[in-house]
Every structure is written in C-alpha cells, then in structure tokens.
C-alpha cells in the first residue's frame, strides 16, 4: 500500500490532481465529461503555474548567483525550494499514508461538528507530511511523526473555518471556499497582531493604499506588470560587477525585466483556470455533504491558495519583497539561508493576510516583511533536520530534487519558514512529554471552541431569520 501511494504521489500535482478530481467528480454525481474537464483544467493550471514559477526562478537564479559572487556572500544553507520539501514529505512512511490518515481526521471532525471544512486540496497535504517527516527523522519515531502531522491538520482545519468568512468576503467568487493550507494559515497570527499595532499609529490610516488605489495614483507605474519590469531590471543591474558590465548587459537586463513583468501578468490569468476547474467540484461536494450532514450547515470546501495568488496586491507585495528579502538574508545576524528557489513560494504567504489588511499594500508589505524575517531564522534553525531527512530520502530514492550539494545544508521557505512548522516541531521533539501535552490541549481546545463558535453563529443566524419572517 505504501508503494502504491508513493507511485500516485510521484506522478506530480499536474497528473495526480486531474485523476483525483475526475474520480471525485464522478463519485459525487457529476457527469464524466464535466468531471474530466474540471480535472484537466486543474492540471493545466498546475502546469501553467509550474511554468511561470520556473520562469521566475530560472530567470532570477543567474542574476542572484552573480550577486552572491560579486558581494562575497557566504551562506551555508542551500535553497531547495518547494519541490524538494514536497519530495521529502511524500517519500517517507509518514507521507505515504498522510492522505488517508488526514481524510479520516477530517471526517471525524465533521461528524463531531468541530469543523465545517471539507479539505479536498489533496496535493497540499504534503505540508502535513513535511512536519511529520522531519519530526520522524529527528526523533526516529514514526508515531511522533504522525502525531505532529495530525496536530497540524486539526489546527489548520480550525483556522480555515475561522478565517473562511473574511476570506469569502474579500475575494470574488469564493463563496463556500476555505483555505486549509498550513503555510498560509500560519501567518494569520502575525497579520492580526501587526495589523492592530499599525492601526494604533496616528495617521497611519492615511496610507490606506490598495492595488486599485495604486493604479489610480501612479498610473502605469502602479501596475503589477510595470513593477515587475522595473524590479527585474534592477536585479539584473545589481548582478553586474561594474558600470561597463551593466552597459554590455543591457539586453539581458531588459530581458529579465520583461520576464518578471510576464510573471506578474500571467499568474492572475493562470489562477482563473483553477477557479474554473474547481468550481463544479466545489459546488457538487458541498451539496452532497450538506445532504449527508443536514445539521452541519454552512460547509466550506477546502481548496488550494493557488486560487487567489493572482490578486494584484499579492503580486505587487511579493515582487517588492523579493529584493528586500535577499538583502535581509545577507545582513541579518545569525541567518545562514539565502532564498533563491523558494522565492516563487512567496506568493503563497499572502492569501490569508489580505482579508485582514483589506488589501492594503503598505500593511501587507510590513506584515510580510516581519513574517519573512522570522521565517529566515526558522529555516536556519531547522536546516539540520531538513538535511537529515533529505539525505535519507535521496539515499533511498535517488531523487535529484532532494540532492543537496556537497558542503551545504538544505532548507526552503515553503512551510519550513512557518510558525506552525517551527512551533509544532519543537513542542513535539524538543520538549518531549510536556510539548506534546501542550499541543493536545491546544488542538482539542481550538476544536471545542470552534464547535461552540459555529453553534453560536447558527443560533444568531436562526434568530435573525425568524425576526425577518415576522
């Protein structure tokens, strides 16, 4: 069975997700042709997103490598990016069984009315497998690995429920959708705290600039496309060792700018494919489960944050943070990680931040900056355990995506930089008995609170409905 799951996961998201969603669509009553089209659109969306992110990293990589060489940067943690993190996650005993285990937990929480999210974002289960995998390799105990993964899953489902109303209100065409992805949800505490602190600063409310406001105020210069070109050209110029080299490299610099502009323009168009492909599945799943669990009203379908990473504020803030993050990685004391391959994953930091900031570019930038500073230190500290897991997986599979260059440790911003990953790892591994006990109390407490909260909201909704009838 383990080998079967490994084979299926090994197909990759672009193949795995169309197959899964086609089968799922037929099982929930959608006609085969419609289910197949939905699945294929999701697959095409993954391919498109992979192509664009590959364009981002492959274009930026040489320029950033030159910057490292020119300025003599010596950072000993090699950026493996999300493909390596996902490979580490799924090519372990924890990862092989993570999907059925988590689906079982999801069903149990639906039955006990401690969640209303039906998480069908199966590909992103690798985040839960990842935390389970590094705990497993660090502790040499598979049970602690599954424990960490399940705790992360429970907390994420509750967070998805709690953030769903704000998410659905902020984004268009997202009714009945929630985001049970731990990387996105882990930044919500940062966003809430920092957003409140910023609101306390006198006059800060005058900086209430969203993406549409930027377009109106700055015209062409406020467009994500134009910003992409400018920042791409700037990074290309910084990768030159002299003014003469800058002049000689003008075609390459301009080419990098155009490519960064293309990334900013294409991502929103690609995300529309996800929306088109997932909507029939989402609607049918919600209707079916609503019939099955009639008392469990207000169900949300858990989807990938890829649905909304094309929001203009996400694109603008992410692109602005790329050079800033690289600069911070160089100057921050104690940091040993230089993000390169992980830069494409930066877009996924913001889907749950924007509903809190109401799309405010300045607030989102500040929150993202704080989260990334903390995240760099998280990656640095967990690099040894990531490396241990990656080397074991490489020895067993020979997968080149997990082959860390000699003399380096491995790391990735993707999930390894999140509060959930760092906190759950240390509470499970470092604090032994006390830490797991805290996690159990926290997860159960959040689940119970979620049930109480949902019942209270249902009662209010019923009261308002009766009042309107009268």
Instruction: Give which of 453, 403, 402, 188 is closest to 298, Cα–Cα.
Output: 453
Paired tokens of 243: 């003014």
Q: Judge contact between 105 and 150, C-beta under 8 A.
A: yes
pLDDT at 379 (0 to 100): 94
Q: What is the DSSP letter of 459?
A: H
Q: Does the residue 164 lie in any domain?
A: yes
| pLDDT tens profile 65-114 | 677 677 666 677 888 877 778 878 877 788 878 888 998 999 999 989 99
Percent with pLDDT over 70 in the chain = 86
Please give the DSSP secondary-structure letter assigned to residue 222: G
The answer as to whether 206 is a domain residue is no
Helix (H) or strand (E) holding 410: strand 409-411
Is 224 among the domain residues? no
Yes or no: say if 143 and 101 are a contact pair by the CB < 8 Å rule: no
Confidence band (pLDDT; 50, 70, 90) for 293? low
What 8-state DSSP symbol labels residue 300? E
Residue 130 and residue 113: Cα distance in Å, rounded?
27
Confidence check: pLDDT of 5 > 60 = no
Alpha-helical segments (H) within 171-249:
182-185, 188-199, 211-218, 224-238, 243-248
Please tell me the total count of domains within the chain. Answer: 1
223 in a structural domain? no
Residue 16 lies in a domain: yes
**In the block, residue with structure tokens 């929630």:** 178
Coil/strand/helix, residue 360: coil
Residue 286 has pLDDT above 70, yes or no: no
Q: 398 Cβ partners below 8 Å, 6+ apart?
A: none
Strand duo 300-302 + 177-178: pairing: parallel
Of residues 187 and 46, which shows the higher confidence score? Answer: 187
pLDDT confidence of residue 289: 67
Backbone angles phi, psi at 340, to 5 degrees: -130, -70
Q: How many CB atoms lie within 10 A of CB 401?
A: 18
Q: Does residue 153 sit within a domain? A: yes
For residue 260, is it within any domain?
Answer: no
Closest CA relative to residue 65, chosen from 387, 423, 405, 358? 405
Averaged pLDDT, 424-452? 94
C-alpha closest to that of 138 among 388, 381, 380: 388
Report yes or no on 208 lying in a domain. no
Closest C-alpha to 301, from 413, 177, 420, 136:
177
Report how far residue 85's alpha carbon sits from residue 51's, in angstroms, rounded to the nearest whole number: 18
Domain of residue 97: give its range.
2-184+270-311+335-355+370-463
């Amino acid at each position: 069975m383990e080998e079967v799951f490994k084979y299926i996961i090994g197909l990759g998201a672009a193949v795995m997700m169309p197959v899964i969603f086609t089968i799922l669509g037929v099982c929930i009553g959608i006609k085969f042709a419609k289910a197949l089209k939905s699945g294929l659109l999701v697959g095409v969306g993954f391919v498109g997103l992979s192509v664009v992110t590959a364009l981002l990293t492959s274009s930026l990589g040489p320029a950033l490598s030159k910057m490292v060489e020119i300025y003599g940067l010596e950072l000993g943690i090699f950026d493996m990016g999300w493909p390596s993190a996902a490979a580490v996650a799924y090519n372990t005993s924890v990862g092989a069984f993570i999907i059925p285990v988590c689906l079982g937990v999801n069903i149990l929480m639906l039955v006990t009315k401690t969640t209303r999210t039906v998480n069908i974002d199966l590909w992103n289960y690798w985040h839960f497998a990842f935390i389970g995998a590094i705990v497993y390799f660090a502790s040499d105990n598979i049970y602690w690995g599954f424990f960490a993964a399940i705790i992360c899953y429970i907390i994420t489902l509750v967070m998805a429920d709690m953030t769903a109303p704000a998410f659905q209100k902020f984004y268009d065409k997202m009714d009945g959708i929630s985001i049970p992805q731990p990387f996105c949800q882990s930044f919500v505490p940062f966003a809430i705290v920092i957003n409140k602190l910023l609101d306390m600063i006198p006059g800060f409310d005058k900086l209430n600039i969203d993406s549409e406001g930027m377009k109106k105020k700055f015209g062409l210069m406020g467009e994500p496309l134009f910003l992409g070109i400018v920042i791409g050209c700037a990074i290309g110029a910084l990768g030159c060792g002299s003014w003469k080299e800058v002049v000689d490299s003008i075609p390459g610099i301009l080419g990098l700018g155009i490519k960064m502009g293309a990334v900013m323009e294409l991502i929103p168009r690609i995300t529309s494919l996800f929306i088109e492909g997932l909507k029939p599945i989402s609607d049918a799943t919600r209707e079916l489960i609503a019939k099955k669990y009639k008392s469990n009203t207000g169900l949300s379908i858990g989807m990938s944050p890829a649905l909304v990473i094309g929001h203009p504020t996400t694109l603008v803030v992410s692109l602005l943070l790329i050079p800033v993050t690289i600069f911070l990685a160089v100057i921050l004391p104690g940091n040993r990680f230089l993000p390169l391959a992980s830069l494409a994953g930066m877009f996924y930091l913001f889907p749950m931040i924007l509903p809190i900031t109401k799309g405010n570019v300045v607030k989102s930038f500040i929150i993202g900056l704080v989260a990334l500073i903390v995240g760099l230190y998280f990656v640095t500290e967990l690099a040894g355990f990531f490396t241990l897991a990656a080397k074991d997986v490489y020895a067993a599979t020979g997968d080149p995506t997990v082959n860390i260059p000699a003399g380096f440790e491995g790391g990735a911003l993707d999930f390894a930089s999140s509060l959930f990953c760092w906190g759950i790892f240390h509470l499970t591994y470092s604090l032994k008995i006390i830490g797991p006990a805290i996690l159990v109390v926290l997860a159960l407490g959040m689940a119970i609170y979620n049930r109480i909260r949902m019942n209270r909201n249902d009662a209010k909704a019923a009261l308002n409905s009766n009042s309107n009838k009268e």
